[in-house]
Homo-oligomer: A and B are copies of this chain.
Amino acid sequence: MEEKRVLRVKKEIMAENVRDANAFRLDREKEGCLFVDVMASPGAGKTSLLIALIERLRKSAKLRSELSPEIGVIEADLESDVDSLKMKKAGISSVEINTKGICHVDMDMVKRGFDAFGGEPFNYVFLENIGNLICPAEFDTGAHLRVMLLSVPEGYDKVYKYPPMFAIADALIVTKSDYLPLNEDFEMGKLMEAARVLNPSLNIFVSSARTGEGISEIAAWIEERRQLLLRHTSRQQ
């Protein structure tokens, strides 16, 4: 009986989180801001990929003689502000939220993080989610795009062991491709095949923040998704 009640209240909390997420998503959409949730295991290279990606987004705007895009990063960790400091060092506007032991990020935390920017207008906001390949898949963070990273040293077989994250992601970014020569047992073909069985519309990129492989392709995809968002918003108004 008690366990049933726990389940019911959990469902209510989850439903409230989804309502908050939908409202947040719509607010960002109205502002022309694409919100991207980046999820992965600890140490998969989320921070390094984001720094490389943001540099590329700025560079490609410059090449098109456009204004540099306004970009913010919300960093989430159990503790510490290590990643937020790294972002600031790279010249990127960033705030840190600490979940204090909780294994996922919920809408209360997202809103608190976003409010900490103090009303700065953004074209892109990235959430570097907590390092966890399991729990964040269950929680809507109000993002327009959900991206998951899998690093080469982790091994391709994670697709069999942790299917939910692969099933809900809009894109899978394989990171640390410069480690491929050291990981001959990393079967890229099997990974892609199994990921597409779980999620037929999954976008897959292979990248390395070190060598720059794949970064411009990911940036182009993100830019395209923002353009789609802007067109969608203008049709609504």
Residues on A lying within 8 angstroms of B by beta carbon are: 2-3, 5-6, 9-10, 12-13, 41-43, 77-80, 82-83, 101, 103, 130-135, 151, 153-155, 157-158, 160-164, 176, 179, 182
Contact = CB atoms under 8 A, between A and B. Distances in A.
A226 to B, nearest CB: 29
Contacts of A135: 103, 132, 134-135
A229 B97 CA distance: 43
A161 B9 contact: no
Q: Which 3 A-B pairs have the closest CB atoms?
A: A43-B154, A153-B153, A80-B160
B163 A78 contact: yes
A132 B161 CA distance: 12
Contacts of A155: 43
A2 to B, nearest CB: 5
A76 to B, nearest CB: 10
Contact of A132 (B5, B132, B157, B164): B132
Given A6-B10, A43-B158, 15 more contacts: A2-B9, A3-B13, A5-B5, A6-B9, A41-B42, A77-B162, A79-B160, A80-B160, A80-B161, A82-B161, A101-B134, A103-B103, A103-B134, A135-B135, A179-B182
Interface centre among A5, A161, A163 (most CB of B within 10 A): A161
Contact of A43 (B2, B82, B103, B151): B151
Nearest to A1: B9
A83 B77 CA distance: 29
A84 to B, nearest CB: 11
A40 to B, nearest CB: 9
Given A2-B9, A153-B176, A78 B134 contact: yes
A189 B2 CA distance: 48
A136 to B, nearest CB: 10
Contacts of A153: 43, 151, 153, 176, 179
A6 B3 CA distance: 9
Contacts of A154: 41-43
Contacts of A131: 41, 133-134, 158, 161-162
